[in-house]
């Protein structure tokens, strides 16, 4: 098997600036992934995740920006090259596995070693059938697929099919591994085990890896860094821990289970917007603030707690959701919060919808940051955006800081578009 791609990827990872305009939707996202590192691209439906995957894979040409991979320039409009998907040396695992139904498991995995596009769209061989099969046997063994080598896709479970898809993507030693919602089609009972398998093989892959998902558990378990996009723009970047502790938007806070509250501080007291409750924090600030409360920092009690908590209030349970080793609890008025406790604690407290309970948070467990009122958060004017000069209104007008520096506001200047619009590229 050729090591060309792996050797190049060892010297450089992925460097991409994705600028695409399709059917009224605009994607403007920068991605940088080092070799041996996994980045998760998160966002709600319609944020642009699928469009980003298509651009990296060569299925959607850029309107502006560039894609560099392993030292190769793959796309740079309007005058640079455009390398088609078949020549990008990228491995992709799709949500639905997309296996060849007429081929056995081993021939699906070995397909990329036996065939590659040649001039005029004809296929030319790389390895013979026997040699290709021998080359992938170790991969089948590593993914526990040896006993299924002769099976056809129709005989496989969802988890088995995704393992075959992963093996096929890895077999060609790609320069970049793209995983597009790889566990979304797998049943819940299989997902946790397959997540572990996926993590093991991602750790062995030497090139850059991009995981596209809407599942925070998947992203936190598999990724080194997160990039969160909303409305085609990156709204937050950081490690899973950083994103969890300091969510930049209400969507990110809901995604991670973190409680993000807007209000106004006076010394150490925070008067919350829209909630009839005043919290005491350890940080003394004045003016608009964001208060962040980790779901694990909230303690629940049958009765009013004694001792050190400076914030305690009576509430009721809205709902309870078991999440394996954690039980997630949603509290109701006067302050809706998400709380994570152990299953044994939930059982001991007899938690269920409508259950009266006391909640308590220590002042030292409330992170208070200067910046945004509730209205500002809803308008997209997060602290990071304000510091960059990018409120949501400015973004919608195309007036991001980078665009202004390039002289490319939406009203003020047209960005050159290369080639014909292939159409049909939907944000996802």
Distances (CA, A) of 154 to 99, 100, 161, 243: 10, 10, 9, 40
Structure tokens at 286: 């004045």
Sorted by where each starts, the structural domains of the chain and their CATH numbers stand as 4-99+156-244 (3.40.50.300), 250-370 (2.40.50.100)
Question: DSSP class of residue 82?
Answer: B
Does this model's pTM top 0.75? My answer is: no
Of the candidates 196, 188, 197, the one whose C-alpha atom is nearest the C-alpha of residue 324 is 188
Please give the Cα distance from 404 to 389 (Å, whole number).
Answer: 10
Which has the minimum average pLDDT: 56-60, 210-214, 217-221?
217-221
* Percent of the chain topping pLDDT 90: 39
Per-residue model confidence (pLDDT) at position 53: 93
Confidence of residue 306 (pLDDT cuts 50, 70, 90): confident
Taking only the tens place, the pLDDT of each residue in 316-330 is: 999 999 888 889 999
What whole-number distance in Å separates Cα of residue 223 and Cα of residue 425?
27
Helix (H, G, I), strand (E, B) or coil at 116: strand
Please tell me the predicted confidence (pLDDT) of residue 358. 96
Between the ranges 6-15, 234-243, 365-374, 391-400, where is the mean pLDDT highest?
234-243
Q: What span, in angstroms and rounded, lies between the C-alpha atoms of 371 and 296? A: 24
Q: Percentage of the chain surpassing pLDDT 70?
A: 79
Nearest to 21 by CA among 54, 78, 64, 59: 64
Q: pLDDT tens digit string along 150-198?
A: 999 889 888 888 888 888 888 888 899 999 888 776 766 667 677 887 8
For the sheet with 311-323, list strands across it: 299-301, 356-361, 311-323, 326-331, 338-341
Chain-centre distance of CA 308, in angstroms? Answer: 38
CB 171 within 8 A of CB 109: yes
Angle between helices 129-142 and 158-171 (to 10 degrees): 120
When pLDDT is cut at 50, 70 and 90, the band that residue 394 belongs to is: very low
Look up residue 349 and give its two tokens: 């407290």
To 10 degrees, what angle do helices 158-171 and 105-114 make?
20
Q: Within 10 A of 227 (CB to CB), how many other CB atoms are there?
A: 25
């Amino acid at each position: 098997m050729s090591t060309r791609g792996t050797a190049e990827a060892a010297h450089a990872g992925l460097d991409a600036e994705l600028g695409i305009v399709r059917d009224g939707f605009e994607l403007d996202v920068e991605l940088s992934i080092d070799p041996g590192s996994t980045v998760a691209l998160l966002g709600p439906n319609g944020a642009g995740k699928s469009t980003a995957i298509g651009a990296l894979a060569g299925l959607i040409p850029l309107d502006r920006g560039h894609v560099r991979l392993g030292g190769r320039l793959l796309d740079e409009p309007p005058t640079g090259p455009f390398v088609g998907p078949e020549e990008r040396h990228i491995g992709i695992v799709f949500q639905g596995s997309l296996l060849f139904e007429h081929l056995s498991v081993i021939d699906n995995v070995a397909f990329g070693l036996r065939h590659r596009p040649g001039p005029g769209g004809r296929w030319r061989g790389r390895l013979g059938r026997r040699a290709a099969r021998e080359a992938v046997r170790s991969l089948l063994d590593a993914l526990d697929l040896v006993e299924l080598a002769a099976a056809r896709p129709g005989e496989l479970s969802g988890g088995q099919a995704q393992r075959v898809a992963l093996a096929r993507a890895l077999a060609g030693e790609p320069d970049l591994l793209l995983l597009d919602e790889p566990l979304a089609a797998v049943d819940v009972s299989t997902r946790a085990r397959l997540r572990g398998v996926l993590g093991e093989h991602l750790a062995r892959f030497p090139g850059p890896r991009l995981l596209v998902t809407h599942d925070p558990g998947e992203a936190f378990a598999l990724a080194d860094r997160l990039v969160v996009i909303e409305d085609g723009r990156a709204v937050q970047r950081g490690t899973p821990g950083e994103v969890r502790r300091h969510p930049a938007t209400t969507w990110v806070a809901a995604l991670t289970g973190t409680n993000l509250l807007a209000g106004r501080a006076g010394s150490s007291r925070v008067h919350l917007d829209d909630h009839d409750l005043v919290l005491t924090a350890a940080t003394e600030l004045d003016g608009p603030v964001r208060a962040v409360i980790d779901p694990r920092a909230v303690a629940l009690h049958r009765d009013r707690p004694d001792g050190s908590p400076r914030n305690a209030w009576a509430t009721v349970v809205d709902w309870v959701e078991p999440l394996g080793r954690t039980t997630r609890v949603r509290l109701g008025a006067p302050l809706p919060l998400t709380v994570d406790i152990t299953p044994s604690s939930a059982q001991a407290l007899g938690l269920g919808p409508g259950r009266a309970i006391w909640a308590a948070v220590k002042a030292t467990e409330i992170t208070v940051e200067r910046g945004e009122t509730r209205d500002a958060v809803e308008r997209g004017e997060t602290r990071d955006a304000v510091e960059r000069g990018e409120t949501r209104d400015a973004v919608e007008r195309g007036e991001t800081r980078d665009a202004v520096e390039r002289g490319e506001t939406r009203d003020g200047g047209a960005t050159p578009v290369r080639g014909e619009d292939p159409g049909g590229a939907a944000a996802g």
